[in-house]
Structure 1
Amino acid sequence: MSPSDVSRPAKPKTVFDRDAEWDALVAFAGDTRPGPGLGVVSGRLRQGKTYLLKTLTAALGGFYFGAQSATQAESLRRLADELSQFAGTMPPTPWHDWGEAVDALLALGDRRPVPIVIDEFPDLVRQSPPLPSAIHRAYRRLRETDPDNRARLVLSGSTLPVMHRLFSAASPLRELTDLQLTLRPLDYRQAARLWNIDDPRLALLVHAVVGGTPAYWGYGGERAPGGPDDFDAWVCKTVLNPRTPLFLEAHHLLQEETDHWDRALCHSALAAIASGCSTQGEIAEHLGAPLTDAARCLALLRDNGLLHGEPDAFRPNLIRLRITEPLLAFEHAAVWSRRSALEQQGGDEVWRRMRPVFDSAVVGPHFARICRDWVMDFADPAVFGARPATAAYGSLADPTRRAGPDTQAEVVVRGPTGTRPSALLSVGAARWDQVMDLHHLEQLRHLLDLLAAHGEDVAHTRPACYSGVGFTSALRAAEANGHVVLVDLDRLYRGT
């Protein structure tokens, strides 16, 4: 019987979205082919890994074990007790090491394919470093002595540096792995559906605060703002309310992800990025810290998935950093310096003072990021003449200005060619709070002239304007004549 012949359970309605992830897990866990299988599920905290894996084992009659920070002896006792309850047997003689425990777990697959989940696997490895080797030996032994075994072991974890190390190309477990799955935050359109928000402007405002992390829907009381006019009150009742989980979530997230490293430096580094610093040198200067200390801190945040670095679209040797979790960006741009005032004065009064900072330092950059996501995930390839390979921020020195900031484009789209730099498909300006007009198009044309002077081929590059408010009739006429691509909120959330 081939794997496709197996009856696979439909994804329960209680699991929001995650269709591809569910299909991949069910296909792996229900594969009837002989031989033990090994799957890996990773992802940052709060993305729904545990709920998804518990649902999987319930649907397929599998075994789930959630690891905790504990000694090896305690973890082995817990596992033995839970395994005996699952199998309906008496607890085994106490195991002396993980080799015996792994053998007992894999024996569950002697008769049929069965998912066996160890969640938060890195917590076990911290206390028992030989555990990965014990798993490797058990698999090698089973494949030689019991090739009909169909155990489907799934190792899951949210400590990303440990998961990457355990299953890197150099790891012996990598050669045994049949499935590698990463649970990422929901994209901005999925998040709008999760929060049941139809208004694109409101959806983007909410996403700028809580992003696409599924757990925050529950933390927010499973209730979205009733409309754009209700947004301020919703923020005060949730993220700025000391009685709700979201109030300290950014602090807890950083604490859990960075373990025992210098959290003060991490907070300050995030605050520097939220204030507009984007390069390693700018951040170190803002912190007043040696470049080596700043580099170590930023590397830690990147390894844990809290920061993402990407090359400047016009200067590829310049790596720009951004905060990946919107709640952390919201916290460090708008809330961090006002926490004591929040606890003393309450959210309403403080939020009135914070709101301008939120609009400029949080929503503006977040809107630009959403525009880049739209380019990569939802735009029809015909919009830019080819399928985009990258969409990034770009900046360029303008020799026509004696002083002042570089000329910039928030959405620079490049195509998939073998040349460096790759084909420049589009340069775009993103303005959250401005009605865009012909002068924005002229600024983009000026940028194209600068790029041409630097040797870029701009003959087929399409200017694009992205606005959270709208466009003038003159700019709409330019769009009708094929001179510019226009993208508004409705197109971001519903169009291609």
Structure 2
Amino acid sequence: MSPSDAATYPTKPDRVFDREVEWADLVSFVCDPRPGATLGLVSGQPRQGKTFLLEAVAQAADGFYFDGHAAAEAETLHRLAERFGEHTRATRPPRWQRWEDAVDALLALGDQRPAPVIIDNFPDLVGPSPALPSVIHGAYRRLHQMRRHNQARLILGGGTPSLMRRLFSGPSSLHRLASLELLVRPFDFREAARFWGIRSPRLAVQVHAIAGGTPAYRGDLVCDDAPAGPHDFDAWVCRTVLNPRVPLFWEARNLLQEENHADRALSHSTLVAIAAGRSTPGEIAERTGAQLADVSHVLAVLQNRGLLHAESDAFRPALTRYRIAEPLLAFEHAVAWPHRAAMEQEDIADVWQRARTTFDAAVAAPRFAQICRDWATTYAGPETFTGEPETAVRGTAPGPVGHARSDVDVAVRGNVEGRPGVLLSVGLTRWSETMDIHHLEQLRQTLSALGASGEDINGAVPACYSGIGFGPELRAAEARGEVLLIDVDRLYHGG
């Protein structure tokens, strides 16, 4: 969208936090003055603000908005007709008996001007009406053949990306018609801190380790209860995520309700294993006592639903490692799940104090490590590394001769003078530990072993990421240009 276009398009209302890119994409789509009906698809994990955003776009652009619900087809058509009548100010709503009639009428709103037509929670409508995607496909085919001037801007929203792909696959694929496919993602760690109104970087990491970047977790699920400061974090945990009277307490279990009973049980066990540090299918199968084939099936289901991320090891590409994508699930299975019985019988504050060490080691520390990786690829300044970062993942590097392999928490690869995939940095993260010269020595040994194995380490810089700080010897090494040091302040405010 050019600056001149931006000036004529609807302004994002103040109530919509951030989402500048998403707003620009949506308003440029719905206000596109060119002839020809167009289609947009908007997807994302639950509670990311898709509905809030689409409602705001419809209101700002004077468009039609309909929030779909799972109901019988006749009931949905009746409710849709009533909403259509209100939008068009008709004396009486139409009486649609078929989706074909409804879709044709909705798209006809674009006969005179660019007309936003937004159908939210679209997957809920397809269940009772499985032919609906084909009906829309046929309507567009007729428009493109007979009414090329039509400017309907239909947006179908709702559902995870994998669900939307399944709905729109097949011979009448709507993907081939879509000129906009927008994924509404969680806020990243910096955006989430601003959204929660948190100024302390260390507190921001702690809250992010529980609530992640999901907007609804602050509003709907804790009623805007944010920690008043670092001193309030423990009390905040007890009165929100560990409080059965607060909706956030139940949310992690709701995320797994779609699985059948057998898959749900193994899903819980799998998540417990990953929260305990098992990251490969073999390690997870060993921890759960399940067959590798069953574990692989559950991992695929959870990954397909966006609850797990699968990544190749930085130095062993054939090795796939899994991490929990939704921080609330990690908190549930590392902290809340093992202490559920105690929380029902004892004071929550006492239980939390016993679980606090587990939280720091199994929840906050892995989330801190992921924030460090995200920082490296998103916020690190252009002079931070010797090239342009493209990926940052964990890896298991070969150890020195006669020693075991060594873990690398942040292995950054990127483009150097046109060469992709060059190793730019190897780093260690420590959430609750002051780092010092022995950590740098460990990284030097790792780099030496990588070089001996054939890895190009010429431009690779050792990096230490700490949630507490750095000792004097390590600071001296930084002053000599021997190591890159990143603390929580730099993660949230620096490059």
Give the Cα–Cα distance (whole angstroms) in 2 for the partners of residues 72 and 282 of structure 1: 47
Partner of 1:323: 324
CA contact (8 A) 1:43 1:49 kept: yes
Counterparts of 1:326-365 in structure 2 under 5 Å? 326-365=327-366
Partner of 2:224: 222
CA contact (8 A) 2:115 2:153 kept: yes
Partner of 1:54: 55
SS at match of 1:415: strand
Corresponding position: 1:233 with 2:232: no
CA contact (8 A) 2:464 2:484 kept: yes
Partner of 1:472: 471
Give the Cα–Cα distance (whole angstroms) in 1 for the partners of residues 223 and 278 of structure 2: 34
Partner of 2:43: 42
Give the Cα–Cα distance (whole angstroms) in 1 for the partners of residues 282 and 418 of structure 2: 29
Partner of 2:302: 301
Show CA shifts across 1:433-478 (max 9, x none): 1111111000000001111121111122100000011111211111
Partner of 1:383: 384
Partner of 2:147: 146
Q: Larger deviation: 464-473 or 416-425?
A: 416-425
Show CA shifts across 1:293-333 (max 9, x none): 21111111111111001100010110110011111111111
Partner of 2:185: 184
SS at match of 1:392: strand
Number of matched pairs: 492
SS at match of 1:425: strand
CA contact (8 A) 2:160 2:306 kept: no
Q: CA deviation at 1:172?
A: 2.4
Corresponding position: 1:460 with 2:462: no
Q: CA deviation at 1:168?
A: 5.7
Show CA shifts across 1:98-120 (max 9, x none): 21111011011111112111111
Corresponding position: 1:481 with 2:480: yes
Partner of 1:254: 256
Give the Cα–Cα distance (whole angstroms) in 2 for the partners of residues 328 and 91 of structure 1: 48
Q: CA deviation at 1:343?
A: 2.5
Change (3 A) 1:217 1:93: closer
CA contact (8 A) 1:310 1:320 kept: yes
Q: CA deviation at 1:253?
A: 2.0
Give the Cα–Cα distance (whole angstroms) in 1 for the partners of residues 167 and 218 of structure 2: 31
Amino acid at match of 1:308: H
Q: What is the CA RMSD across the aligned residues, in angstroms?
A: 2.0
Q: Larger deviation: 109-118 or 15-24?
A: 109-118
CA contact (8 A) 2:65 2:119 kept: yes
Partner of 1:66: 67
SS at match of 2:96: coil
Give the Cα–Cα distance (whole angstroms) in 2 for the partners of residues 191 and 275 of structure 1: 25
SS at match of 2:206: helix
CA contact (8 A) 2:388 2:416 kept: no
Give the Cα–Cα distance (whole angstroms) in 1 for the partners of residues 6 and 204 of structure 2: 41
CA contact (8 A) 1:80 1:91 kept: no
CA contact (8 A) 1:314 1:394 kept: yes
Amino acid at match of 1:84: G
Q: Larger deviation: 60-69 or 161-170?
A: 161-170
Give the Cα–Cα distance (whole angstroms) in 1 for the partners of residues 73 and 473 of structure 2: 70
Q: Larger deviation: 96-105 or 83-92?
A: 83-92
Change (3 A) 1:346 1:119: farther
Q: Which runs of 5+ in 1 are unaligned?
A: none
Q: Larger deviation: 4-13 or 303-312?
A: 4-13
Partner of 1:425: 424
Partner of 2:393: 392
Q: Which runs of 5+ in 2 are unaligned?
A: none
Give the Cα–Cα distance (whole angstroms) in 2 for the partners of residues 358 and 77 of structure 1: 50
Amino acid at match of 1:406: R
Give the Cα–Cα distance (whole angstroms) in 2 for the partners of residues 346 and 295 of structure 1: 39
Partner of 1:279: 280
Q: CA deviation at 1:159?
A: 3.5
CA contact (8 A) 1:309 1:319 kept: yes
Partner of 1:88: 89
Amino acid at match of 1:244: V
Change (3 A) 1:78 1:369: same
CA contact (8 A) 2:414 2:420 kept: no
Q: CA deviation at 1:393?
A: 0.2
Give the Cα–Cα distance (whole angstroms) in 2 for the partners of residues 393 and 235 of structure 1: 29
CA contact (8 A) 1:122 1:159 kept: no
Corresponding position: 1:15 with 2:42: no
Partner of 2:441: 442
TM-score by length of 1: 0.95
Q: CA deviation at 1:252?
A: 1.2
Show CA shifts across 1:128-158 (max 9, x none): 1211111111011011111111111000112
CA contact (8 A) 1:313 1:392 kept: yes
CA contact (8 A) 1:62 1:116 kept: yes
CA contact (8 A) 2:210 2:327 kept: yes
Give the Cα–Cα distance (whole angstroms) in 2 for the partners of residues 15 and 429 of structure 1: 37
Show CA shifts across 1:168-187 (max 9, x none): 69762122111111000001
Show CA shifts across 1:227-270 (max 9, x none): 211110000011001111111011112225x4777211211111
Amino acid at match of 1:480: A
Give the Cα–Cα distance (whole angstroms) in 1 for the partners of residues 99 and 204 of structure 2: 48
Q: CA deviation at 1:401?
A: 4.8
CA contact (8 A) 2:192 2:212 kept: yes
Give the Cα–Cα distance (whole angstroms) in 2 for the partners of residues 134 and 361 of structure 1: 49
Q: CA deviation at 1:58?
A: 1.0
Percent of matched pairs sharing the same residue: 55
Give the Cα–Cα distance (whole angstroms) in 1 for the partners of residues 230 and 158 of structure 2: 37
Amino acid at match of 2:441: E
